[in-house]
Amino acid sequence: MRDMRMDKTELGCLRAIILFNPDAKGLSNPSEVELLREKVYASLESYCKQKYPEQQGRFAKLLLRLPALRSIGLKCLEHQRGKKGKNEKKEGK
């Protein structure tokens, strides 16, 4: 990811795309979440075209980073859950 020198705006948009998951369990209105996600996609594409006009494939390359970002997020979540479980065992819960 460093090879692209992703900026904070791009990273924030990718995080939002991951967060706005219409397939998440328990959503009362997944179509609304999907609309939000589509707006973020469109905003990111527009941003890339304006900020990096010489890099025509930048938006597509950023989208290809999504699986890696999701994986990192899941690993962090698993790590936190593991830490919490260890702390609960130490406290006798």
pLDDT at 47: 99
pLDDT above 90 coverage of the chain, percent: 67
Extract the tokens encoding 10: 């791009």
Number of other residues whose CB lies within 10 A of the CB of residue 48: 21
Supply the pTM of this predicted model: 0.75
Confidence category of residue 10, pLDDT binned at 50, 70, 90 = very high
Q: How far apart, in whole angstroms, are the C-alpha atoms of residue 82 and residue 11?
A: 26
pLDDT at 2: 53
> What confidence tens digit (pLDDT) does each residue in 51-67 have?
999 999 999 999 999 99
Q: Which residue has the higher pLDDT, 77 or 32?
A: 32
Q: How far apart, in whole angstroms, are the C-alpha atoms of residue 52 and residue 54?
A: 5
